[in-house]
Structure 1
Amino acid sequence: MKNLYIALSFVAMSSSLYAQNANTKAADKLFNRYEYVSAAKAYQSLVDGGKADGYVYKQLADTYYNMFNAKEATTWYAKAVETPQDAETYFRYAQMLKTNAKYEEANKQMAKFAALAPNDLRAKAFKENPNYIPKLIGKDPSFTVKSLAVSSDKSDFGPVLYNNTLYFTSARNGSRKNYGWNDEPYLDLYQSTLADSGTFSEATTVASLNSKFHDGPITISADGNTAYFSSDSFRGSSFLKDKLNKLKLGKNNIYKATKTGDTWGNIKPISINSKEYSLSNPSLSRDGKTLYFSSNMPNSIGGVDIWKVAVNADGTFGTPENLGNKVNTEGNESFPFIADDNKTLYFASSGRPGLGGYDVYMVDLSNGSEAVNMGKPINTEKDDFSFSFSKEKNMGFFASNRNGNDDIFGATPICKLEVLTIVKNAKTGEILTDAKVSIVDDKKNVIASEMSNGQGEVKYTVECDKEYSIQASKDGFDGNSFAVAKSKGPKTTVDALLQPIDVIVTPVEIILKPIYFEYNKSNITQAGAFELDKLVQVMNNNKDLVIFAKSHTDSRGTDAYNMALSDRRAKSTVQYLISKGIDAARISGKGFGESELKVACGDKCTEEEHAQNRRSEFLIVK
């Protein structure tokens, strides 16, 4: 049903080598009247009767495309392209193939499309990055999603939350007659209340806004007293007459309503509506000054574009403005939603490189940046559209037919924290470039490592509310670790101040942080390796230096066992240094068991105290 509000009564006719004839007259009439369910049966009868050609196959495919029956559309596009077709047919075929994750075959059809329409923005985007799918699939998710119980067995879409009320559009009203486009009832506006528990009440109709025609989606002003919503132009007695098909052609229009008490009234079409083209899917900025909508009005780049218009203080409107090719393509863009910041726009597109069908994109309108595909799990190989976001509730909502029907989903942001590390000389404040900066999780696992840039910076994005640490090191400096406190973000800065390496060298020993070992183990840990690398640096800078390593255990276990364990730890330490290029003649070691405890706590030691006793020390022999 979302195709009604994306296609906006706009149907591209075939330009194949085949054309309409006496045999197709009845089916074509149904197609042109947008009665696609009946049209599909009529074209199918021509196929069954052996009267099909490239035109019939294409029309049958387009019929299923308009109903978003990807399986049938794919079948008949495959037959249609056995004969030469127009560029758009190859594009649509590629779209349907992607809905079944047949990306290699989709690329072949996109190549044919690009050859026929080389100047099309969609063709250019494909040729610039034909193998974008793996990168898109591998993109880190920004949301978790779940299906909401407010969905029905009919089409439900256009969800938007204002205060605690979720408004959406649905074809669930079984008491109304079905619409010939897809054999579902006409659309109505519904509402459901969000409880403190996070559940939604049973949906009810917004009776004061609904009519006998299609109604919805809706947008509501920040004060809750003004609504703009989509409805048929028939509601305002506006239509064109198609004498050939004996048809009254209505368009999608936008209507304005005001609230008195709990009831909407004073419903009027807005002044920029037209019976020549459609306007739909309104979204009002929180400051109430700009209305975004989708339309196929003149000067659109594609079939349907996203536009905006100024809402003046007196309620009148300015001149509609196309959002341009940073948003729109020669395909269809629809379902705009402007976020609370008045600059972030979410929208659905079939013309941009996506996973299949309609994908959701976001773009910052304030800086001229490119639109970004929101990736999985918001987007899938199917139709994903009508995304909205409530900053107050920190919740997103969208519609998708990933389960076979247009259903409503909730989207919860995955909290991300950007950690900016700036590496500096602790004595002089000088920026340190080419320093190794690693981010480490609370289990001491290194997540990633990079070298600091010309500004001494490294940025990492991690999950919120978790403990991390930054390890920074550079030749000539004493590497160190810096805590990253738990945070909900969105950003935090760590000043990694490194002392020159000579601060850890005394006349008698190399002062490192303790090289701790795990209980009953002798292998070098990641934290231990980070400290030992400092010793390697000192010994490389002082070629005559000879070191003796002493390894110790805690007091658990027998004396003999601990002596053997500490000796293994000493050998592990020595072997690590030799593996880093230190001459074996310059490093030796011995285990001392529990004979030199750092913390003499007997049988009452805490785990932290035991860990302090499991250590290595480094004495200067020469």
Structure 2
Amino acid sequence: MKYEKLIKYLLFILCLVQNGEIIAQKVFWASKVVSFSSEYSDPRTTKEFRAIQVLGRPSKLPQIGSAACAWQPMTQDNPEEEFIIVSFDTLMPIRQVAVAENFGQGCIVRIEAFDNNANLKPLWENKSSPTGEIGKMLNVILPKMTDFSVKSIKLVLNTSRVKNFNQIDAIGISQSEKPVVASINVSNEIPKNFIKENLGKNINSEAIEIAPVIAPDGKTLYFTRWKYPENLGKDKNQDVWYSELQPDKSWGKAIPIGSPINNTEHNAVCGISPDGKTILLNNVYLKDGTMEKGVSKAFKLKTGGWGFPRALVIQNFRNSSEYSEYSLAPNGRVLLMTTQTKETFGGKDIYVSFLQADDTWSSPKNIGNIINTAEAESTPFIAPDGKTLYFSTIGHAGYGNNDIFMSRRLDDTWLSWSEPQNLGSLINTPEWDGYFSISALGDYAYFSSQENSMGQEDIFRLKAPESIKPLAVVQLTGQVFDSADKKGISARISVQDLSSPSDTLSTEYDPFTGDYKLMIPAKKVYSITARKKGYLPVSEQLDFTNEKNFKEFKKNLYLTPIEVGQKMTLNNVFFEQSKYDLNASSFGELDRIVELMKEYPTMEIMLEGHTDNQGDWNANLQLSQQRVEEVKKYLSKKGILLSRIQTKGWGSTRPVSSNLTEEKRRLNRRVEFTILQK
């Protein structure tokens, strides 16, 4: 009893009145189904209309009408009473019960409560006739706070009171007498007056234009055009088109992407890689010109065209839906897709798959019920930051028959997400809205909508509000050269997050196809490395911890041929301050040296350690020797014979920069690598 009184008192202080006015309202929505009389089931469905759909905040209201995200008893107009009992993540006295009746409103005849000792207490009895409303929020305000703590609520329905099926969207309790109102979870920071711009006749037509995909640099817009006279084939099925951004920031006249991506079947674009050289496409292209369900990638050729699309092999991939959409994360190793199986929450759900060492993709995993609902989810798009997800559904409270939502990834499992936020009524309309895409610049967002379209469906853009932008990213670009003749050479570029060494992005650089491009989140420190057979790998540190907005950063790299006498600085070998303990962020750099020495089994090297001039001269000399000895031990543990490694500590005797500032001194604290024998 003491515990219950304490809870009651705290909630009273937190939530109730001050000078007779309510200062806050906390609503607890049902978190567990205890029991129910029946639930709708159908061989064609999974979790649609089941009792569990009553849990959580309203999924349909403030809209009204039938919804798969609501509990529906098995039969309509049942002369026998139906009931459902739900419990909550709290135990407290209550003043209000709120029931979201989204469809067939008016069939609830009694509301009862169980106390902590399982005693059933009457709360409310319906003595009114049905009003004929389709749906609304039923607010039962009790005359006073209950004198017991409520453990669970029981709703009793007489479904014969309202013809056809009856549905309950959510059940909530509160200590406030202010009526609970169903609301849409929209960011408070979205402006009320931004302009949604139709892209005009260069992009849109009387046909259907959907699925805009903006290149990360914001300069090329790809989209899918359906039933257009210039499409291939007699049926004019879907084709992929693209447009280039003009100097005045308008879009040029759209051009079909051409063969082999466009054929007489359904062709649709899903995504584009950060460097613009890989395009993701719906369906699997067969050599005979036909298609089958799945997803493909096409690579840009040196001639400027596209190669024949190659199928992505996804383990245990199944999809009973006619449609599926895909989005590739900026690192190229994570694939989101929509698919429908016997295990989905209802309709299509969003799943995640990971690239494996054998170049196949792992069995898809459902990303969970924070995102997925009993309705169909569609058009997922992972932003260039690799964390922000945009998708569309009718399964979360919204404004129309399909709205666009945003959520942020919370960890590296890709299964934990923030609660989705609706992008607001100026983006979402009473019609179908989806296919949201945004560039790395975060300046404009692109999406498909039917409202105010030139045809059946058009592509729009708007100046992206700050609250719905992806997190800031850096577009890393550049070239790779031979340090001797300064000519461009092909190489493999990798960028490693030094705070999370396993998080690495890679790309192949070809001087004939332009700069390499990688998209990386800002506010971090990275190591960038270029590697090519016959050359010493080179790595440098990049610090973007202070970047708050999009930044394009050009970094050219120079590779040195492997020859006796060649020396390089190990820029990403780090030690604890004034100690010789290796920092874990050094392991990637040292592992590359291990790979090199295993590739050249007769290679012998010299490791030289250097410090700045701060502190005692003799102590610095000893520290520099200890540090290179520590590097030597690491290489030995990785299988390199100690006899192949010589070491020398120079202390502060060989500076390469001034010691007047910390920035300059940092250059003097280094480990150098010299080839003694090839």
**Same fold by TM-score, threshold 0.5 exceeded?**
no
Between structure 1 and structure 2, the one with the greater Rg is 1
The structure that is strand-richer by fraction is 2
The structure that is helix-richer by fraction is 1
Normalising by structure 1, we get a TM-score of 0.43
